[in-house]
Amino acid sequence: MPVAQLNSDGSLAHLLTLDGLPAAAVHDLFTLADFYAAGSDSRPLRGRLLVNIFFESSTRTRTAFEAAAKQLGADVVNLDQIRMAGTTKSESLQDTVRTVCAMGTAGIVLRHGEDGAAQQAADAADGQAVVINGGDGCHAHPTQGLADAYTLLRHFGDALPTLAVAIIGDVLRSRVARSDLHILRTLGVRDIRLAGPPQLCPSALAGSLGAPVLHDIDEALAGADVAILLRIQNERLAALRDEFALSPADYLTRYGLTEARQARMKPAAVIMHPGPINRGVEIADRVADSRQSLILQQVRNGMAIRKAVLTELIADADEQRR
């Protein structure tokens, strides 16, 4: 039986997915994030050990967790592909998790290429350490989803549920798209459109993700308050070029957020991207750096969110706001 993400009292035991995470738990995390965003220098993780286990590369997630944990007083160890026996000596994910648990680890942040890897890690931890999903396959990236929703809530306030949100790009393989969808729905957003080329955003997603799928980006952006662009991976671009003669420049013209498209959006609309961004592919250079872009605000808020998640999961209740 897989371990549950929530304890019987509704508190978080692990953070594996935003699918089904109650609104109350989300708002508790946002309240803690406000506390940190306001500049708290509280160190509730003093004496605790966090291990970042990253089977895939990461700039934002790993650095934010490392910096956040250190600022909260924790010791941090980073395990990556080069240092892990799992890569070079075939040690399983489960044995890697059990090994770091035996070292007295309080928390594990895991990034892995396989859907469900975070659940497997939580099962292997067997109550000895909390597991935070730093992105598993195409399944979930909960702290990115939390950072994105927190950014929108702080920007638009109570108007959040009335927003029209377009999620554009490689939706098929995007764990961020799924986590954004889950949390925005939990917070009451109803108008969420998915868009991209049929190869990356097939019509069948409308059924599995429960949101309309559009292949015309102008249609997806019509009346949108928020455009969330997703990264197009190099290998997908190569396939589009080889199979459909679609160059990166063609991609931007047909499916990306160009300056012309941005100019047709609502004046108060905002542009988001979880990063890393491919300038000149899914988003034009100047759009990424424009005043409507919240891309760096997502990163700043990601720090407060990671501190909130670490505090909620690892700090003792009586130490949470000391």
Footprint on this chain of ligand CP (rule: CB under 6 A) = 58-61, 135, 141, 144, 274-276
Shortest reach from residue 93's CB to ligand CP, in Å: 19
**What is the spatial distance between Cα 212 and Cα 112, in angstroms, rounded to a whole number?**
29
CB 1, min distance to ligand CP, A: 30
Neighbours of 20 (CB within 10 A): 10
Q: What angle do CA 196, 197, 198 make, to 5 degrees?
A: 115
Nearer to ligand CP, 36 or 65 (CB): 65
- The residue (of 200 and 246) whose beta carbon lies closer to ligand CP is 200
Minimum Å distance from CB 281 to ligand CP? 16
Beta carbon nearer to ligand CP, 58 or 301: 58
Nearer to ligand CP by C-beta: 48 or 273?
Answer: 273
Q: Which is nearer to ligand CP, 11 or 59 (CB)?
A: 59
Nearest to ligand CP of 56, 75 (CB atom):
56
**HEC letters along 61-105:** HHHHHHHHHHHCCCEEEEEECCCCHHHHCCCCHHHHHHHHHHCCC
In the bound complex, what is the minimum distance in angstroms from residue 101's beta carbon to ligand CP? 24
Shortest separation between residue 273's beta carbon and ligand CP, angstroms: 9
Nearest CA among 86, 66, 87, 88 for reference residue 77: 66
Q: Are 177 and 201 in contact (CB under 8 A)?
A: no
- Which H or E run includes 234? helix 234-244
Tokens at residue 88, please? 């070079």
Say how far apart CA 21 and CA 15 lie, in whole Å: 9
| Cβ neighbours for 202, distance < 8 A, ≥ 6 positions apart | 172, 213
Tokens of 241: 């070029």
Radius of gyration of the CA atoms of the chain, in A: 20
Nearer to ligand CP, 101 or 288 (CB): 288
Contact status, residue 142 vs residue 133, Cβ threshold 8 Å = yes
Least separation, in Å, of the C-beta of 152 and ligand CP?
Answer: 16
Shortest Cβ distance from residue 174 to ligand CP (Å)?
10
| Residue number with CB closer to ligand CP (59 or 162) | 59
CA–CA gap between residue 92 and residue 114 (Å, rounded): 13
| d(C-alpha 247, C-alpha 238), whole Å | 8
How far apart are CB 260 and ligand CP at their closest, in Å? 27
